[in-house]
Amino acid sequence: MAELDKTRQHTHGEHIARVHALCSEVQTSILALEKNNVMLLEQSLAKQEALCNQIAILKAKSAEAKPIDARSAAEIRHAYMALAQKNRTYASLLKRSSRTVNLLAGFYRCYGASIENKSLDHTWSCEV
Amino acid sequence: MPGLTSTMLMSVQSLLADQAALQVTSNNIANANTPGYTREVPDLVETTPTVEGGITYGAGVTLEKVQSIRDQLLDLRISEENQQQSGAQAQVDALNQVQGLFSDSTQGIGADMTAFFNSLSQLSTNPTSIPQRQAVLTDAQNLASSFNQTSVNLSNIQSNLNLNVSQAVNQVNGLTQQIAKLNAQVAQMQQLGQEPGVIQDQETQLVQQLSQLTDVSIIQTKDGQTITTANGSALVVGGQSFALQASADASGVEHIFSQGEDITSSIKNGKLGGLLQVRDQAIPAVLNQLDTLASQFAAAFNTAHEAGTDLNGNAGQAFFSSASGAGAAASFAVVITDPNAIAASSDGSAGSNGNITQLTAVQTQELPSGASPTDSFSNIIFNVGNLTQQAQAESDAATSSLNQLNDQWGAVSGVSIDEESTNLITYQRAFEAAARVISTVDQLTQTVIGMGASG
């Protein structure tokens, strides 16, 4: 019984640690976007994917290891709430970054279109 | 064929151009840490060459203009994010005050409701006890006070936000006046062929401050910036500004007018948008939930109480009074003042506690709203917390986005000390070379004069 409790506590502890790590990784992605650091963003996304897979496994293990004690349940709930809040910020930042990228793309499209239109009126050598 | 004099003049022109370029560079270095300063670059162009005897001779260099390096797309995005960040932050600040009314688990409506039902449970052990009955009444009074106080506090927060709205409108008007003046200066300088970079920097700073207050659209025209509100009402057109007016309605709620039109509901961003969002939507929604809880709780408890009999053998009367609909929480009160009037008995006998079970059941009984009183109160706390967290996430994201855009702005328009140091050396070398040319031409001139003297 004591051994089962120990295993259960270990699983919950690992579960919470992974959720915290994912939360921290989402924050890293936010910082990467802030600094326009694509490499850091890609690394962080890869880590997030790995952590999500680990959490899915641990979540299944936790479900098997029921009943969960109130303290662990509260800790897991708090960890997920912090992650949800961080995700809200991340989602909103992605939406904002997309707006900047769309505006830039629109600007370049507009610029490109004006060159294309010109090319109808001028010869290739004129354009060069 | 160009002579020594034209070479000398060309070198002087070159000296002047390099000197001006050095001045632009030193001004950039001086303003490296000035907020909002846009770096300038000297626009050096080749002077129109001269043609003599079929040969084209270069005629030196001219400083055509000093140009500020701006990216209007980035300025636009920074303005948008300023509007959203300030709006979200204003909401967070106001909602934190609202949340403060519900966050204490040891006092307030939630705690007082629990205490009231605990007192009733204790009364069931000794239904004839006057001190126990008095304790029930005291806890009922505390619950009523909590409903009243929470409602008053919510209204006070709403009034403070109302005051902030009129202050923000005054700030908007002050800024639009300043921007209009700068717009006129920019147009005048452009007409005279002067570079209005410094004035445009000041204008951009003011526009960003304006964006923090309200949502605006900015359009570049030949007369400078045309700034309108979200619904298209003009704030600044050329050198003219159009003031917003804050005017209170019959209930004291400030409305914002632009040229006679009420634009209150169209302001969604900036500090004003945030304040209006909480004043006109978030707080009324919380007050509505609180009023619903107060009136439905009073009705449910009164129904249970009227089914019992009091200590004097009389049928139970209404325990609580509360207006229905708006103002229910503010008017929530305990009707009974006599401890004997608590209808604990279900069969009319003094020692009976049968009706207390019905009374305590109200705590978990579903109200017409679809939730028990305890759950209804928890829902209010959840809704306020959720709104606050949502606004906080928006504010954090907008701050991150602003950092990202400001970094990009710095890369385009900011001063790079390394780049300016390189420019400094480049122009210094060019200046020295031009001076050497002058010195050489001077020596050549002396030689020519000497040739004349010896001849």
For B406, nearest residue in chain A (alpha carbons): A34
Distance CA A2, CA B340 (A): 56
- DSSP string of B65-111, one letter each residue: EEEE---HHHHHHHHHHHHHHHHHHHHHHHHHHHHHTT--SSSSHHH
Q: pLDDT value at position A126?
A: 36
Q: Which residues in chain B have their CB less than 8 angstroms from residue A30's CB?
A: 400
Distance CA B8, CA B10 (A): 5
Q: pLDDT value at position A122?
A: 43
Residue A74 has pLDDT above 50, yes or no: yes
Q: B368 — phi, psi (to 5°)? A: -55, -25
Give the strand pairing for B261-262 and B320-321. unpaired
Q: pLDDT value at position B59?
A: 85
Q: pLDDT value at position A128?
A: 29
Residues of chain B with pLDDT under 70: 1, 452-455
Classify residue B256 as left (phi > 0), alpha (psi -120 to 50) or beta: beta
Higher pLDDT residue, B393 or A115? B393
Cα-Cα end-to-end distance for chain B: 24
What does the pLDDT look like over B98-107, one tens digit per residue?
999 988 878 8
Mind telling me how many Å the CA of B382 is from chain A's nearest CA? 13
Mind telling me how many Å the CA of B393 is from chain A's nearest CA? 4
For A87, nearest residue in chain B (alpha carbons): B393
Distance CA B301, CA B363 (A): 9
Q: Whole-model pTM?
A: 0.83
Average pLDDT value for chain A: 81
| Average pLDDT estimate for A64-84 | 83
> Would you tell me how many other CB atoms lie within 10 Å of the CB of residue B296?
20
Distance CA B301, CA B228 (A): 54
Give the type of residue at B403.
N
Q: B228 — phi, psi (to 5°)? A: -125, 165
Q: Which residues in chain A have their CB less than 8 angstroms from residue B79's CB?
A: none
Q: pLDDT value at position B353?
A: 87
Among B157, B186, B169, B228, residue whose Cα is nearest residue B70 = B186
Give the type of residue at A31.
L
Q: Cβ–Cβ of B401/A104 closer than 8 Å?
A: no
When pLDDT is cut at 50, 70 and 90, the band that residue A51 belongs to is very high
Residue A119 has pLDDT above 50, yes or no: no
Give the residue from B404, B405, B406, B407 with the most A CB atoms within 10 Å of its CB, the best one to mutate: B404
- DSSP string of B180-245, one letter each residue: HHHHHHHHHHHHTT---HHHHHHHHHHHHHHHHHS-EEEEEETTEEEEEETTS-EEEETTEE--EE
When pLDDT is cut at 50, 70 and 90, the band that residue A2 belongs to is low
Could you give the percent of chain B with pLDDT greater than 90? 72
* Candidate from A35, A91, A97 with C-beta closest to B401: A97
What does the pLDDT look like over B23-78, one tens digit per residue?
999 999 999 999 889 999 999 999 888 888 888 888 889 888 888 898 888 888 99
Tokens encoding B82: 């300023």
What does the pLDDT look like over B302-360, one tens digit per residue?
999 999 999 888 999 999 988 888 899 999 999 999 999 999 998 888 778 889 999 99
When pLDDT is cut at 50, 70 and 90, the band that residue A117 belongs to is low
Give the type of residue at B109.
I
* Candidate from B73, B392, B401 with C-beta closest to A104: B73
Q: pLDDT value at position A125?
A: 35
